[in-house]
Structure 1
């Protein structure tokens, strides 16, 4: 028991990723969780958030000391929560300060390609790496192709990429990778399109499964031709509700499938966690990566349920073969922005600009209960038992074992955990999340 550590975040208390005793405080009967260390599942890539232009801009509006504290809070593996992966938009998105491209209008040659607008984002990535003490692995996702390449001749309200521009748009991906990597950023993957089933009043583009499949057949060979066959292509990058249909629509084609590393997904609309597992079961040689989630419609200060939403989604997705988790904006201001179409939301670290203060939200601590302790290279161990709690267990490369248990109920629950290095008995208190490390 001397080596065992218990970290907890709890509603209506001061417990925020706090080291607390392993204790039994309830007279309730014991429920069981059984971990099977011989039944191993997926290996974890890591955890992170999106380096949006809005995030970088918000940190430019506060003093240097506060900026450093904000970055450290996410990326320091000891004093922060150990982020090691991230996401950027390929040119503008709604959490840019405005829509923009990397090229001049109608430049199909891409000769004017210039990512200087992204310099604040690139600087933020490098500053994060100083605390992470490793390269941050970045996913690049486009919100829209250039407007003239689409059938609606607009960056917004959906529209489709015209087939005659498939090759030009694939070349744009190559230029994006080249220019970011010239500046020392490690691009490990790209997704075909952010939310390809959503017609939005901001930057957006529609792809059917057939469209995505056919574009992958251009993008894959184009990346290979330029020596980027190691860059992982992700499809879908949208919600769980119809991810099975989309995965089947692309991955049942053997030509497209050979270029696709896996399926990216978001949490909006649906908590159909079973769909995540179904995609794995249908395509067990492919991978799953969570690439966006946030609490919509404003900043949500003081709302503990937002933290519980994060924990519930993360635990269930990780149980169902997800290999990494990328949150949406890293840093938003007290309005939940800026967002150039007023699509405001919450972030785990909110920045009060005038006061130059950071607010670590409940979501920050819920993410940290997982990301701080489940290290890159960790492998999920199968677990089963009580249905009154949600939980997931891992073995790290250093042989340490981790189990995360969340109780969203109103009652404390006594739990007996078997199958780890030691059997554990403790109380998981109401509206809390506990991480046990052995």
Structure 2
């Protein structure tokens, strides 16, 4: 009997040891790996162009005089969700004016991995926003019981484009909704524009509104992955806006929105709080996430990049600080665009550089998903019912029937085309401040390293993994993606 027990124990220990051994991944190796280099560069025709195929060689100790990018694929961090943009009313209206051929070109440009940049993340506006041709809601004025709720408005332009995009993305799609304002009668200023606050007597009705909209979209065959509670809740804008203090948002979430979604069977939807600039990010995170009853409903914290309106720099470090404080919550960039449209600046390279710098810093600070603003605007930077005209990565000139690709499109593509959903960010750093870098390892074992040259000089650098390296040349003001 003792022999049998001993044998069983030995077999169990052996099986556990084998299982433990199997679960440990093998260290990344550069052996027989080729580095494919894709480049986009200012004052050249290079746009996501293959510019090199390189091999690794031994480099045990870099010198101080050698510029290096150090990557350690065995040190992993957050899991990547996706990159994408917003299908607003404006985007959908411009799309509808394009010829069928240009529509297909546009869809391929964004949503095909092979022929485009492989967007998988989509956002849309619940009720109107500034990038709508007019202000609208889905109910008749005063209908607090939502008996007249109908998304017929969206069926003309927005839903057809969303459906086409979702069909191309397939199972990797993550689609979320954001409101800019409740209906006017629910607010203390009786106006969808100019800020105002949600009246206490309409808290439940407004929570029910999200449920109605999500269910209506899903009835149309559009699965909703998540939602933000309020776009830019501290901004009193001349367009659709609504003010929620940190306490307001916390209490609305824990007492109304969270329980209402749960009761409706929508508790799996990813709820993102804040959805505003990086400057007040920590205050909002602390206020909501330190309340356990509110925090339990929160998937993540969303942020924008417009804090530089004050004349200061981008507050990238605030993203990292929230990540340190609340590592179980996700960080998602929910909106950014280049403001003040000017058709003479379609090809202004620094507009693209703004994307590259932000994306690298945001990912390095723990961000899991990154959402651009409008995916398409017209030759006027609209339509926009309050004349807040902006840039998009692609513009549709509806007079000429042409698509205009801006540098921003290619900068975003250096990330979205190559980093797959489920990838893990890995350790990546530069030895000189002229170069910015971030790296991910895809589930197929391939590493994607993005390098951005902020200088006006051509630079030679070594891509170093352990004691292996390959020398790469990057042009002035260029961005590169290295896949190996």
- Report the TM range for the smaller structure's normalisation: over 0.9
Q: Secondary structure at the match of 1:80?
A: coil
Aligned to 1:127: 164
* Structure 2 contact 36–54 (Cα < 8 Å) conserved: no
Q: Which of 279, 289, 294 lines up with 2:322 in the alignment? A: 279
Aligned to 1:226: 264
Q: Secondary structure at the match of 1:38?
A: strand
CA deviation after TM superposition for structure 1 residue 353, in Å? 0.7
Q: After superposition, what is the alpha-carbon deviation per residue over 1:208-239, rounded to whole angstroms, capped at 9, x for unaligned? A: 00000001111111100011110011111000
Q: Which of 122, 144, 151 lines up with 2:181 in the alignment? A: 144
Aligned to 1:207: 244
Q: CA distance change for structure 1 residues 367 and 258 in 2, over 3 Å: closer, same or farther?
A: same
Q: Secondary structure at the match of 1:323?
A: strand
Q: Which of 297, 305, 319 lines up with 2:340 in the alignment? A: 297
C-alpha distance in structure 2 between counterparts of 1:400 and 1:187, whole Å? 30
1:41-60 matched pairs, under 5 angstroms:
41-60=77-96
Q: TM-score, normalised by structure 2?
A: 0.87
1:318-329 matched pairs, under 5 angstroms:
318-329=363-374
Q: Secondary structure at the match of 1:307?
A: helix
Q: After superposition, what is the alpha-carbon deviation per residue over 1:6-51, rounded to whole angstroms, capped at 9, x for unaligned? A: 1000000000000111579xxx942122112222111111111101
* Structure 2 contact 197–244 (Cα < 8 Å) conserved: yes
Q: Secondary structure at the match of 2:400?
A: coil
The alignment status of 1:38 with 2:86, answered yes or no, reads no
The alignment status of 1:86 with 2:122, answered yes or no, reads yes
CA deviation after TM superposition for structure 1 residue 422, in Å? 5.4
C-alpha distance in structure 2 between counterparts of 1:345 and 1:385, whole Å? 33
* Structure 1 contact 97–340 (Cα < 8 Å) conserved: yes
Aligned to 1:8: 39
Q: After superposition, what is the alpha-carbon deviation per residue over 1:290-337, rounded to whole angstroms, capped at 9, x for unaligned? A: 110000011431211101001011111011110011100011011100
Q: After superposition, what is the alpha-carbon deviation per residue over 1:363-418, rounded to whole angstroms, capped at 9, x for unaligned? A: 00000011000111110001223222110001001111110000121112221122
Q: Which moved more, 1:335-344 or 1:30-39?
A: 30-39
CA deviation after TM superposition for structure 1 residue 77, in Å? 1.1
* Structure 1 contact 294–328 (Cα < 8 Å) conserved: yes
Q: Which moved more, 1:417-426 or 1:325-334?
A: 417-426
The alignment status of 1:312 with 2:348, answered yes or no, reads no
Q: CA distance change for structure 1 residues 414 and 30 in 2, over 3 Å: closer, same or farther?
A: farther
* Structure 1 contact 43–378 (Cα < 8 Å) conserved: yes
Q: Which of 391, 404, 409 lines up with 2:437 in the alignment? A: 391
* Structure 2 contact 71–428 (Cα < 8 Å) conserved: yes
Q: Which has the larger radius of gyration?
A: 2
C-alpha distance in structure 2 between counterparts of 1:296 and 1:321, whole Å? 26
Q: Secondary structure at the match of 1:269?
A: helix
The alignment status of 1:75 with 2:106, answered yes or no, reads no
CA deviation after TM superposition for structure 1 residue 186, in Å? 1.5
C-alpha distance in structure 2 between counterparts of 1:50 and 1:274, whole Å? 25
Q: Secondary structure at the match of 1:279?
A: helix
C-alpha distance in structure 2 between counterparts of 1:103 and 1:232, whole Å? 25
* Structure 2 contact 307–315 (Cα < 8 Å) conserved: no
1:142-221 matched pairs, under 5 angstroms:
142-217=179-254, 218-221=256-259
C-alpha distance in structure 1 between counterparts of 2:372 and 2:223, whole Å? 18
C-alpha distance in structure 1 between counterparts of 2:170 and 2:266, whole Å? 25
Q: CA distance change for structure 1 residues 285 and 133 in 2, over 3 Å: closer, same or farther?
A: closer
1:241-256 matched pairs, under 5 angstroms:
241-256=279-294
What stretches of structure 2 of length at least 5 have no aligned partner? 1-31, 56-63, 309-313
Aligned to 1:240: 278
Q: CA RMSD, aligned part only? A: 1.6
* Structure 1 contact 331–351 (Cα < 8 Å) conserved: yes
1:395-414 matched pairs, under 5 angstroms:
395-414=441-460
The alignment status of 1:96 with 2:117, answered yes or no, reads no
* Structure 1 contact 84–134 (Cα < 8 Å) conserved: no
* Structure 2 contact 197–242 (Cα < 8 Å) conserved: yes
Q: Secondary structure at the match of 1:159?
A: coil
CA deviation after TM superposition for structure 1 residue 421, in Å? 10
Q: Which moved more, 1:36-45 or 1:341-350?
A: 36-45
Aligned to 2:19: none
* Structure 2 contact 274–284 (Cα < 8 Å) conserved: yes
The alignment status of 1:372 with 2:417, answered yes or no, reads yes
Q: Which of 424, 429, 434 lines up with 2:475 in the alignment? A: 429
